[in-house]
């Protein structure tokens, strides 16, 4: 006996359609009511979007680079509860309380989100720890999402007539040793915005604009078993694995060579005689998994920069000695306050040995 067949004739459709439309309308109204209630009762929902304090700018000759949103002053929270920290961006788009003119005669810290101080208070960042330990003022010239090419742009963007006393470049081994050609990138036309909606784009839009989405996602991500399920079904990606997408061990030598060339080009922007050091931030995969690939990158870039007579400071032993869990946030891949303190103290020791003239007595303007 065959399965019973259901034929939807016009009469049935006309009977069902009002109920379907009513249900859809009720759902939309309920979502809008919830959205409005959350916006009123939980105004902090906006804190989960980094797009609020990040923007971009074109630097002539260097292309587009990310900077902070000038004048921003607000809170930023990690949606799984790792941190909630205040972000203040000055009028020049950098994470400093002082105007950009104050950078003159200070130690400039260049780098990506680690150097920016992602997840920690300004006074906890290694930029400030270095200043406190050394007794010499620093200035943060770092921005999240930037590469070595971006650091060239950030340095070149600094106002003419001011110069650093020294330059510290924070090189994150996980994602800043890469195949780079900064000159070609700067000359390349900017791609047109895609009209195709990707899952990542949808999530970014909802994070920035939908209070209900933020509350639901935060609630789910803070339940470990649900978070694990979401990773396994592919709705979210394991943050500790995202970075592996851009790595091909067969291209390691090319990545090292290209990165060293571009760091050398960055150094040429710095006046001769000014101390310049590249600080190597070890990859979690080497700290946790003893990854041979990331060890190869770390040692390889050290050798490539030494050949170019560029000083380096490798933080692997210092971070490993304290432990991965003690120095990094539980879910987010960045350093916590202890990680920053270890880094700042190590950099201060390097300066005390290699640039002893950087002392409070030599800080003329600050």
Give the model's pLDDT for residue 51. 83
Burial 206-222, CB ≥16 within 10 A → b, else e = bbeebbbbbbebbebbe
Task: Kindly report, as residue ranges, where domains of CATH 3.40.50.1110 are found in the chain.
Answer: 47-189+247-361
Place of tokens 């103290």: 345
Instruction: Residue 159: name the closest of 71, 260, 90, 111 by CA.
Output: 90
Going from the first residue of the chain to its last (366 residues), give the mean pLDDT of each consecutive group of 10, the final group possibly shorter. 54 70 74 65 64 91 94 87 92 97 97 97 97 96 95 96 96 93 82 52 61 57 56 54 63 95 97 96 93 95 97 97 94 93 97 78 40
Q: Which residues contact 329 (CB under 8 A, 6 or more apart)?
A: 78, 82, 83, 119, 335, 336
121 three-state secondary structure: coil
Cα–Cα dist 162/129, whole Å: 23
pLDDT for 202 equals 63
SS3 246: helix
Question: What's the pLDDT score for residue 147?
Answer: 94
DSSP code at position 177: S
**What pLDDT is stored for residue 313 in this prediction?**
98
Residue 190: predicted pLDDT: 62
Q: What is the pLDDT of residue 362?
A: 44
Write out the CATH class of domain 47-189+247-361: alpha beta
pLDDT at 357: 75
Q: What is the DSSP letter of 189?
A: P
Would the CA dihedral through 28, 34, 40, 45 be positive or negative?
negative
Best CA proximity match to 175, nearest among 283, 248, 256: 283
pLDDT at site 189: 72
Give the burial string for 148-174 (b: 16+ CB within 10 Å, else e).
bbbbbbbbebbeeebebbbbbbbbbbb
**The whole model's pTM is what?**
0.79
């Amino acid at each position: 006996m065959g399965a019973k067949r259901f034929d939807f004739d016009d009469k049935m459709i006309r009977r069902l359609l009002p109920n379907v439309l009513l249900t859809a309308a009720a759902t939309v109204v309920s979502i809008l009511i919830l959205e409005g209630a959350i916006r009123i009762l939980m105004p902090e929902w906006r804190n989960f979007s980094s797009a609020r304090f990040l923007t971009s700018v074109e630097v002539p000759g260097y292309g587009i680079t990310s900077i902070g949103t000038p004048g921003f002053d607000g809170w930023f929270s990690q949606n799984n509860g790792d941190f909630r920290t205040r972000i203040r961006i000055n009028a020049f788009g950098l994470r400093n309380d002082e105007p950009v003119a104050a950078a003159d005669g200070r130690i400039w810290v260049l780098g990506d989100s680690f150097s920016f101080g992602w997840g920690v208070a300004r006074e906890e960042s290694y930029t400030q720890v270095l200043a406190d330990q050394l007794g010499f003022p620093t200035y943060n010239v770092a921005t999240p999402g930037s590469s070595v090419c971006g650091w060239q742009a950030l340095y070149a963007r600094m106002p003419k007539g001011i110069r650093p006393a020294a330059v510290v470049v924070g090189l994150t081994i996980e994602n800043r040793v890469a195949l780079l050609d900064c000159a070609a990138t700067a000359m390349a036309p900017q791609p047109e915005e895609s009209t195709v909606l990707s899952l990542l784009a949808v999530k970014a839009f909802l994070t920035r604009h939908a209070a209900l989405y933020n509350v639901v996602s935060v609630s789910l991500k803070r339940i470990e078993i649900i978070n694990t399920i979401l990773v396994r079904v592919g709705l979210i990606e394991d943050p500790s694995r995202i970075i592996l997408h851009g790595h091909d061990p067969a291209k390691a030598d090319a990545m090292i060579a290209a990165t060293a060339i571009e760091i050398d080009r960055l150094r040429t922007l710095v006046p001769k005689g000014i101390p310049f050091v590249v600080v190597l931030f070890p990859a979690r995969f080497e700290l946790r998994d003893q990854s041979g690939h990331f060890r190869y990158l770390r040692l390889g870039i050290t050798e490539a920069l030494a050949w170019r007579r560029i000083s380096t400071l490798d933080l692997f032993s210092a971070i490993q000695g304290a432990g991965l869990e003690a120095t990094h946030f539980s879910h987010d891949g960045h350093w916590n306050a202890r990680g920053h303190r270890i880094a700042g103290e190590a950099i201060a020791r390097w300066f005390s040995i290699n640039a002893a003239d950087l002392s409070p007595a030599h800080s003329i303007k600050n």
